[in-house]
Amino acid sequence: MEYEPVIGLEVHAQLKTKTKAFCGCSTEFGKAPNSQVCPVCLGFPGSLPVLNKTALDYAIKVGLALSCKIEEDTKFDRKNYFYPDLPKNYQISQYDRPLAYAGYLDIQTESGIKRIAIKRVHLEEDAGKLLHEGNDPDSSYVDYNRAGIPLLEIVSEPEINSPFEAYQYLASIKAILKYLDVSDCDMEKGSLRCDANISLREYGEKKLGVKTELKNMNSFKAIKSALDYEIKRQSQILRDGGAIGQQTLLWDAQEEKTHPMRTKEEAHDYRYFPEPDLVPFTFKPDEIQKIKNGLPELPNARLTRFIKEFSLSNYEANILTSDKHLADYFQKCAKNYKNYKNLANWLIGPFLSELNNRKIEPDDIPIAADSLVRLIEITEEGAINNLSAKTALGEMFNSNKSAEVIIKERDLAQISAPGALEDIIKEVISSNEKTVSDYKSGKANALMFLVGQVMKKTKGKANPNIVTEMLKERIQNA
């Protein structure tokens, strides 16, 4: 029997404020352990939190971008539990009155656009980091640099029905956070984290099955793999007539399987109560409106505009707008280059694959838009062929040199003059008699082989169109 997966995602994103949520310490990543701490974020006795207004503004922006309602009277609460990475043994979080609630997010699925409801968005403080190092098995180290960094928790309703949808949902959240410029969303550095709830039910069934909670998924790929794995695991149990046990599972990316967390660690009563060190606060509708008016164009709006303004397909526009910086780059190029379709093909094809191969985020594109446009134009003019253009592009990523310089230095200019090709074509025809006769007897593919031979002898520089024409003519006239 096939089951329908029901998935809810809980996303945590660090906000990229300069200072922490409740003190003036820097949030910079990668500094020496415990070098960015003070009595407040270390939870020293007598210290008191003071809310970082920028963190609050960022959180409201996200709430609005996810079409949430904004709570006008809100407050912080204490979530109480003991763990060494939590300096006060409580986390300042939000419980019953989150900043934003009841929103939604439209994602692209195989069968078109799907709307996923967002349950809540709230602001809290991050914990420190435990490091299990050294020789003493009974000791661990704690780095509190991360403790107190503002963290946004975004919780979806359980309306995601496949690992692919989960992937798309997370990608859309990431895109929005980056469009808003409020988070780095780097899963490797932990500035974007995601937990999942997953249960199965028979198709058509309305009631939810027993869910498990998946943690420790540290990449987009891990989320997909972990969900795939868990769907298989739960299906097998159900098919065998068993029952799913509610538990928390940790994804092991090395072994590609989940391990149950020790049950004792989940038996928490967090004893939430209002944080008495921070006063409740109120948003006036005009303050919210002001933030709303200041929101930038968001991914879905840009997608629609790209389709209209640049006559792109949904597929093309979707890829280009999935990342703010890539979309910005397209727009910059499009200012001086009007063959948008060709531009889109360039960016989605060779350009993105260079980025991916080199693990460069679109935030850090090293080639100026003008330089790329010049390369595209040169190619279009016929000065180099497509193959050489790709070589030149790679070189531009390496060296920061202009297309013209690279073509000259690497001798990539396309050979289009028949005079320069005449001898080579003759030689190829005479040394491939069998192929020539195949072509004559009607095998069209044979000609392509001969073209390939010419290209080989010219080190890829010959103009393939001219070579084809010349070959046809010479064979016919032979």
Partner 1 sequence: MENKKELFRWTAGEIKQNKTNPQELILSLDDRINLIEDKVKAFTKKPDVLPDAVPQNSGLLCGIPVSIKDNICVQNEPTTCASKILSGFLAPYDAEVIRRLKVAGAILWGKTNMDEFAFGSSTENSFYGPTKNPHNLDCVPGGSSGGSAAAVAADETIMSLGSDTGGSIRQPASFCGVVGLKPTYGRVSRYGLIAFASSLDQIGPLTKDVRDSALLMNVIAGYDPKDSTSVHVEVPDYSKILGKDLKGLKVGLPKEYFREGMDREVKLAVDEAINILKNKGAKFTEVSLPHTEYAVAVYYIIATAEASSNLARFDGVQYGYRTTNREPRTANRLIDMYKASRGEGFGKEAKRRILLGTFVLSSGYYDAYYLRAQKVRTLIKRDFDEVFKGLDCIITPTSPTAAFKIGEKTDDPLKMYLSDIYTISANLAGIPAISIPCGFNQEGLPIGLQIMAKPFAEETLFKAAFAYEQETNWRRIRPTL
Which residues make up the interface to partner 1 (CB under 8 A)? 39, 42-51, 78, 80, 82, 84, 87-90, 138, 142, 264, 269, 271-273, 276-279
Which amino acid would we find at residue 348? Answer: I
Q: Which is nearer to partner 1, 72 or 277 (CB)?
A: 277
CB of 83 to partner 1, least distance (A): 8
Nearest partner of 291 among 180, 420, 408, judged by Cα: 180
Q: How far is residue 78's CA from residue 100's CA, in Å, rounded to a whole number?
A: 18
Which amino acid would we find at residue 51? Answer: L
Q: How far is residue 41's CA from residue 43's CA, in Å, rounded to a whole number?
A: 5
Contact status, residue 440 vs residue 418, Cβ threshold 8 Å: no
CB of 42 to partner 1, least distance (A): 7
Nearest partner of 249 among 238, 264, 259, judged by Cα: 259
Length of the chain: 478
Q: How far is residue 461's CA from residue 189's CA, in Å, rounded to a whole number?
A: 44
Query: What is each CA distance from 241 to 199, 207, 235, 306, in whole angstroms?
Result: 15, 18, 10, 51
Q: Which is nearer to partner 1, 164 or 283 (CB)?
A: 283
CB of 45 to partner 1, least distance (A): 4
Q: Which is nearer to partner 1, 84 or 366 (CB)?
A: 84
Structure tokens at 459: 């080190």
**Phi, psi at 323, each rounded to 5°:** -125, 130
Q: Which is nearer to partner 1, 51 or 475 (CB)?
A: 51
Instruction: State the distance between the two ends of the chain, measured CA to CA, in whole angstroms.
Output: 67
Q: Which is nearer to partner 1, 67 or 80 (CB)?
A: 80
Q: Which is nearer to partner 1, 144 or 306 (CB)?
A: 144
Q: How far is residue 421's CA from residue 428's CA, in Å, rounded to a whole number?
A: 11
CB of 204 to partner 1, least distance (A): 35
Q: Which is nearer to partner 1, 87 or 209 (CB)?
A: 87
DSSP annotation string for 47-59? ------HHHHHHH
Structure tokens at 411: 């001798």
CB of 14 to partner 1, least distance (A): 23
Number of H helices, E strands in the chain: 16, 16
CB of 283 to partner 1, least distance (A): 17
Q: Which is nearer to partner 1, 38 or 291 (CB)?
A: 38
CB of 10 to partner 1, least distance (A): 20
CB of 51 to partner 1, least distance (A): 7
Burial track 157-185 (b if 16+ CB lie within 10 A, e otherwise): ebbbebbbbbbbbbbbbbbbbbbbebbbb
CB of 29 to partner 1, least distance (A): 23
CB of 123 to partner 1, least distance (A): 15
The packing angle between helices 369-381 and 324-336, to 10°, is 50
Q: Which is nearer to partner 1, 269 or 433 (CB)?
A: 269
Which residues lie below 8 Å from residue 279, measured CB to CB, with a gap of 6+? Answer: none
Which amino acid would we find at residue 72? Answer: E
Structure tokens at 247: 């538990």
Q: Which is nearer to partner 1, 87 or 98 (CB)?
A: 87
Q: CA Rg, the chain, in Å? A: 29
